[in-house]
Amino acid sequence: MKVVVLSGGVGGARFVRGLVDVVEPRDVTVIGNVGDDVEVLGLHVSPDLDSILYALADLNDEERGWGRADETWRALETVRALGGEAWFQLGDLDLGLHLVRTQALRSGEPLSAITLRIAQALGIEARVLPATDDRLRTWLETPAGEFPFQEWFVARGHRDDVDAVRFEGDAEPAPGVLEAIDGADLILVAPSNPYVSIGPILAVPMIRDALQARRVPAVAISPLIGGRAVKGPADRMLQRLAGGTSPGHVASNYPGLIDALVVDEADADDLDGLEVRPIVTQTLMSDSNARRHLAEAALGAVVA
């Protein structure tokens, strides 16, 4: 069974790691968000792609949810001591990947080709693709002004309420993305932030169109448990932008794009307004068994 999964960083990477335990990794294509990509210290950083790559290569820091395990921060200490740009956390191990990617981008290699090459070097069998090779950037409109994603998220600690999300750039799908969607038996939307992780992927018009025209089931997994985000601002954003944090509010971000939503048991009594089929189960990915369980629940949609 060929599976395509749309993914952000933390929640997406945890989910994808569980997914490749229950389906043949070679049959999985991960389409990753690049709306958060940022240039720091002259380096091109793709935080969500990196979270996915590190999780699939078992190099990730499970607790933090991003970056590498056994990380050290000595290069950043030097940057700080020298008065350099130190607001964005880049670990020593992590920096190696950013160096390789940045050099390749400067030499003209597309992000998708670089990502596939890095995945291969890390021994990853699943296919990891950026949604696009074009420049696509997420902007947040807030009462304090408009900010690029990382300035809002990291520098300002996502403290500002979000009034609107905007995507900069006319992006086309990266090579392989449409082919993967066309060839999929199942399309999954990871338990990622609908606005700033999945939103930028759906902002690529040809990707949205391909998902709309699908002839196979599409299933999203809610990133909320009991109406609360496990981590990050998804619940606050849903409250303000969709008017609530129920499964129906989550699904309202994917109109015509999903056929079922995996919701946590804690949200099972709050299904009013949900217009797609609910799949109720435990959705906290606390360990590898829990991750596998969640992946199996989502895959159940094709046999059910």
Stretch touching ligand GDP by CB under 6 A, among 54-62, 143-151, 217-225, 270-278: 217-225
Burial label, 107 (beta-carbon count in 10 A; 0-12, 13-18, 19+): exposed
Half-sphere exposure of 110 (CA within 13 A, CB side): 15
Residues linked to residue 43 through DSSP beta bridges, in sequence order: 40
Q: State the Cα–Cα distance between residues 25 and 29, nearest whole angstrom.
A: 8
The reply on whether position 37 binds Ca ion by CB under 5 A is: no
Half-sphere exposure of 61 (CA within 13 A, CB side): 13
Measured at the CA of 198, the angle between CA 218 and CA 228, to 5 degrees, comes to 95
User: Which of 10, 31, 43, 187 touches ligand GDP by CB under 6 A?
Assistant: 10
User: Which of 59, 136, 234, 257 touches ligand GDP by CB under 6 A?
Assistant: 234
Task: Tell me which of ligand GDP, Ca ion, none is bound by residue 130, counting a contact when its beta carbon lies within the kind-specific cut-off of 5 to 8 angstroms.
Answer: none
User: Which of 27, 37, 48, 133 touches Ca ion by CB under 5 A?
Assistant: 48
Nearest distance from C-beta of residue 154 to ligand GDP, angstroms:
11
Q: State the Cα–Cα distance between residues 248 and 268, nearest whole angstrom.
A: 11
Residue among 33, 293, 25 nearest 137 (CA) = 33
CA distances from 193 to 42, 45, 112, 230, 274 (A): 27, 19, 22, 11, 18
Residue pointed to by tokens 């403290």: 159
Residue among 298, 245, 234, 236 nearest 274 (CA) = 245
What residue is closest to Ca ion based on CB? 9
Nearer to Ca ion, 195 or 254 (CB): 195
User: Which of 60, 138, 197, 245 touches ligand GDP by CB under 6 A?
Assistant: 197
Task: Tell me which of Ca ion, ligand GDP, none is bound by residue 132, counting a contact when its beta carbon lies within the kind-specific cut-off of 5 to 8 angstroms.
Answer: none
The reply on whether position 95 binds ligand GDP by CB under 6 A is: no
The reply on whether position 8 binds ligand GDP by CB under 6 A is: yes
The reply on whether position 9 binds Ca ion by CB under 5 A is: yes
Nearest distance from C-beta of residue 93 to Ca ion, angstroms:
19
Nearest distance from C-beta of residue 239 to ligand GDP, angstroms:
13
Q: State the Cα–Cα distance between residues 198 and 253, nearest whole angstrom.
A: 9
3-state secondary structure of 274: coil
Residue pointed to by tokens 């804690």: 266
Task: Tell me which of ligand GDP, Ca ion, none is bound by residue 32, counting a contact when its beta carbon lies within the kind-specific cut-off of 5 to 8 angstroms.
Answer: none
Residues linked to residue 138 through DSSP beta bridges, in sequence order: 167
Site string for ligand GDP, 36-55 (x = CB under 6 A): ------------x--x----
Task: Tell me which of Ca ion, ligand GDP, none is bound by residue 173, counting a contact when its beta carbon lies within the kind-specific cut-off of 5 to 8 angstroms.
Answer: none
Site string for ligand GDP, 132-171 (x = CB under 6 A): ----------------------------------------
Q: State the Cα–Cα distance between residues 280 and 88, nearest whole angstrom.
A: 37
Site of interaction with ligand GDP (CB under 6 A): 8-12, 14, 48, 51, 66, 190-193, 197, 222-223, 225, 229-232, 234, 283-285
Residues within the interface to Ca ion (CB under 5 A): 8-9, 36, 48
